Amino acid sequence: MRWLRFYLGFHGYEAAAAAVREEDVPAAKVLRERLREAFDATSEEDAVSTLNAVLVEHADPPRLERTSDGWRFRYGPAEAAGRFGRCRAHPCRCVFVDRSRNRSRRYCCELCADRATQAAARRRRAKS
Ligand SMILES: [Zn+2]
């Protein structure tokens, strides 16, 4: 689990890194292997085919949304109310908009995520 947290944090996805759970690791390993298949492909067509299959499974489809000029395709996360969250790092009660693709954000900021991670580590050490 540490490698996945490190990888996500290294690439700037701090909220996702803080939200990683042990049960996320097998899916991440499967995704990693599929991406390696694309990079190891012997032809561009095979690589694109592999990447397109991954995108079909993991990417949000584009949506039509009304603008002042009519309709346009929107790519990326929707700003639905379901994306609103409240920080889970006690005693913080801040709110946030979860812009993560998998709606995994749990903390309002990196400081709270770090504080919660440190508190969990202290609890684990205290148990052992
Ligand atoms: Zn917070």
| CA 79 / ligand 1 centre spacing (Å) | 20
Q: How many Cβ atoms from other residues are within 10 Å of residue 9's Cβ?
A: 17
User: Which stretch of 63-67, 81-85, 101-105, 113-117 has the lowest confidence by average pLDDT?
Assistant: 81-85
Comparing CA positions, the residue from 49, 24, 26, 23 lying closest to residue 38 is 49
| CA 94 / ligand 1 centre spacing (Å) | 5
| CA 111 / ligand 1 centre spacing (Å) | 7
Measured between alpha carbons, how far is residue 48 from residues 1, 5, 55, 100, 118 in Å? 29, 27, 10, 25, 41
pLDDT at 67 over 70: yes
Average pLDDT over residues 27-55: 91
Mean pLDDT of the chain: 85
The pLDDT assigned to 82 comes to: 55
The pLDDT assigned to 80 comes to: 47
The pLDDT assigned to 81 comes to: 55
| CA 11 / ligand 1 centre spacing (Å) | 21
